[in-house]
A and B are shown apart, each in its own frame.
Chain A
């Protein structure tokens, strides 16, 4: 690691001080219309993200987990303004997006790496041109030099790779290009949406090591989205669990690994393959597939698959609140809210 790399890494200045969360999201909502019929009228709404709130502290890594259709990727796209939000606030280092902060400024501070490393690179641009593109748009000086230095940093020799095209690279190499491209803007927050999921296991470990190094070197903050709990546990400081467009649980990684407070989180954890041939999984933790987000269940959206569901779960949506013994561990479940009216509320429920 040479000193020049640090010098060319010029993130936006810190405006809010260390206590200000780098990113605050309040009541984020996005419904997608489903059109049909001869006239193409809106027939229904997919409730992709519904009332999602969370914070990301400076320098931490927040892992987001959940099954397909739970709104992980939509949340990520809303954060960098790739999809316009319906409602809600996105506050980057104390400045509100749309009021004090333009989309272009936001994208200097927040960058994203996607799952499909091939689809996200322009096939007609060389690697160097792709990595330098954002810096040129933002008017940063010496975009090519910047690109070459970052390629070097992510482990791609610029003399060998700068003039190649995406199809000439392997999946792991392309994902390194995508990481270099994101870093070319000197962002403070990088959103990694299933960034290692398409890679082979041995290559995945290499890229995870690279991400850890870059976080330390450049003081980055990550939002790491994945369906692989082992990967999320390895890289994250806190884990946020989503189900059908809502946040069901947010907790520090050790706390959630020790105790999953929401019944859905518990099912998700027990669905992990056992890795022990003498203790294989005997019972599937949940039956059936997740419901359709077009018409999500009323009340608590998990009540249709929950073993502990009672009347109150069908009617009243639970609120996200801290556990009595650990205020850092937030859960949206009537079982943990003594005043909810759930018959088993406040009791310890056996796993």
Chain B
């Protein structure tokens, strides 16, 4: 195994139940140490499922997982019991969208952070508390000493998300998974949290996977972007490449839908239709029914993965020809 931080190969996840959902279809993804990657996509595109799979949080009885996932050389899918516990929160940890639901309402925030530290590092309660205090200061919570003994409901939304980040980083994970951590926050608070995460990422040198549906947020936080659609990665590249030279028609549609520099009253170039239901495994390009540039080859089979540059890929038959602006 190489020294890659993350190496996902041909990951396929299927949920069984009354209806089968092909949530992730043949996803491969790799990250170097200390990289920040944004997973960009709409609801149902498989962003959150990928993160949950990385933490082994999917219900085993109803989930079929194929392929492989390695984090720092550890085979995630083979972990169970004690090893899985050490891995979760130690090697990889997660910040959720809704901190009010992710934090335990009956314990103080200091207790919750200290508990994680005691579990993973095996230190005494008072040492763990001082780590908790240090972490609250790192995430810029004013009067951190006093806040240690607050319950989650006593904190504002922005403060709770800071606590969540402190908890996730308390054991210095190598990889932080952030699942839309700023979506529930106000605009002026969102930018504070994004800048904080950027700073902590640099200080701790950890890798970050940041799931978002907002291109602007992806630009603020990440070096690289992978665009997901219908359980597949349709395009990957540096943030600059995606923003300046998005090649996949879906990426271009998303950029247009951001309304960043659309003239007022001008008709929006909306992507028609809605994402597919994923009840069957895709056999051709999933975006073809909505694509303005569709051609017979798109419906004939899965699109080829083109690589216009190193570590850059586009799953589209037309990726080689830069698409002229309509």
- Using CB atoms and an 8 Å cutoff, list the residues of chain A in contact with chain B: 67-68, 170, 172-173, 200-206, 208-209, 212, 227, 229-231, 233-235, 253, 267-268, 271-278, 280-290
Contact = CB atoms under 8 A, between A and B. Distances in A.
A80 B219 CA distance: 39
Nearest to A216: B265
Interface stretch (B16-24, B62-70, B253-261): B253-261
A141 B114 CA distance: 67
Given A200-B43, A253-B264, A286-B188, A275 B158 contact: no
Interface residues of B, number: 46
Given A200-B43, A227-B186, A205 B256 contact: yes
Nearest to A254: B264
Interface stretch (B49-57, B124-132, B270-278): B270-278
Interface string B195-223: 10000000000000000011111011000
Given A201-B254, A201-B257, A273-B220, A267 B188 contact: yes
A274 B220 contact: yes
A253 B263 CA distance: 12
Contacts of A212: 265, 267
B284 interface: no
A233 B264 contact: yes
For the complex of A and B, list the 5 residue pairs with the smallest distance between their C-beta atoms, beginning with the closest: A273-B216, A205-B270, A67-B186, A200-B42, A202-B271
A280 B220 contact: yes
Contacts of A209: 267-268, 270
A229 B187 CA distance: 10
B216 A290 contact: no
B11 interface: no
B257 A67 contact: no
A173 to B, nearest CB: 8
A208 B274 CA distance: 15
Contact of B215 (A267, A275, A283, A289): A275
Interface in B209-264: 213-217, 219-220, 238-240, 243, 253-254, 256-260, 262, 264
Nearest to B156: A289
B189 A268 contact: no
A275 B260 contact: yes
B259 A234 contact: yes
A186 to B, nearest CB: 24
A280 B36 CA distance: 15
21 contacts: A67-B186, A67-B187, A173-B274, A201-B213, A202-B257, A204-B257, A206-B270, A209-B267, A209-B268, A227-B187, A234-B259, A234-B268, A267-B188, A268-B188, A272-B216, A273-B216, A273-B219, A274-B219, A281-B194, A285-B188, A286-B188
B43 A205 contact: no
B269 interface: yes
Interface in B20-78: 42-43
Contact of A230 (B194, B260, B267): B260
